[in-house]
Structure 1
Amino acid sequence: MSAPGWLLRVLGGLPKPTKTRPQDDEPPQPLTRDRVADYLLGRGYRFVIDEDGDLTGTWDGSRFWFLLLGEQSEILQVRGRWHRTLPVEQRRAVALAINDWNRERIWPKAYVREEEGELAVYAEVSADLEQGVTDLQLAQLLACGLGTGVQLFAALDPVVPADGPPPPDVPDN
């Protein structure tokens, strides 16, 4: 089975890390919603701007938001919400799975939240970019947030019994 096209674009589109300083002398620029949107468009991803002004879309059926937080919108957060919800009675089991994930991996931060009588699983990658960010750094952060969030949700699929298809919304990337 091959990886979805968007996943190949995320994981295969960046140069391999090197141990030497890259020759790119691009100075860091302020983080803006337009720069995040340009990255997403450049990768061929589909997204919308929600009622709060945040960029959002779905990847493998799960919703992701690209948030600019902080007093000067200097904090980038890629937040994903698993397309499945769980009964509150499964809190202990899903908390153990999330704890294992957080113990064994750096990204994304994973957590469970009760919403309207059910459990929702979230993934987050955040970075304080008060000093600015280069295009390469921004691309790496966005790819990390999407890639690791999707990996978390895929790892939960075999652990938690299926409860049906994801709700239709924004077209999947």
Structure 2
Amino acid sequence: MTIDPSSIPNFGGQPEPQPQGPAGPVVPDQDLVKQLLDQMELKYVVDEEGDLAAPWEQFRTYFMFRGEADQQIFSVRTFYDRAHKIDEKPQLLESVDDWNRRTLWPKVYTHTHDDGTVRLIGEAQMLIGMGVSLEHFVSSTVSWVRAAIEFDKWLVEQLGLEQEVNDADKPEDDE
């Protein structure tokens, strides 16, 4: 099974073409996701556990298949790298709750590490074991990637982190 390149939604706000593929359900696999990422012109790696990961500057998005045959789940999980202090967790939870109420995906939650830092994780899942339409799989995966990017931008605005982001983008002085 292949994905028609004209079927890949772009990130520029143009109308989304419809995928041309098999008429019946398909069971997506890692090769299909690689093909989709290639056509979206996104770089990716395969980690030591065999999962696909697309790295961005402030986060990594993983494309994972879990479960057995007819109960298999496709999960798109984004790990946001920005570390927050434990005393910021109430504000983070308030922001994450607001995001989760307003949007369908990714659903975002906090993870507190042993060192007391708090990081955010976003996740969307689809049951694929019995097959799904290629159009549904492609449009959902692309939408989830877009939403993961949008969440990071939204959080920066919500928490007033623009200066921190701008500072990180500036080259260091060699004085």
Task: Find the structure with the greater CA-based Rg.
Answer: 2
Which of 39, 42, 45 in structure 2 is aligned with 1:42? Answer: 39
Corresponding position of 1:171: none
| Corresponding position of 2:68 | 71
Q: Distance in 2 between matches of 1:60 and 1:14?
A: 26
SS at match of 2:154: helix
Q: Which one is further off, 92-101 or 106-115?
A: 106-115
Larger RCO of the pair (alpha carbons < 8 Å, separation 6+): 1
- Superposed CA offset, 1:40-63 (max 9, x none): 112211100000000001235311
More helix by share: 2
Residue matched to 2:125: 126
Question: Could you say which residue in structure 2 is the equivalent of 1:81?
Answer: 79
Written as runs of structure 1 = structure 2, the 5 A alignment for 1:21-170 is 26-59=23-56, 61-72=58-69, 74-116=72-114, 117-160=116-159, 161=161, 162=164, 165=168
Contact residue 44 and residue 55 of structure 2 kept, 8 A: yes
Greater share of residues in strand: 1
Partner of 1:14: 16
d(CA) in 2 for partners of 1:36 and 1:112? 27
Aligned residues: 155
Structure 2: state its 5+ residue gaps.
1-8, 170-175
Q: What TM-score results when the alignment is normalised by the length of structure 1?
A: 0.78
Q: Greater CA deviation, 154-163 or 87-96?
A: 154-163
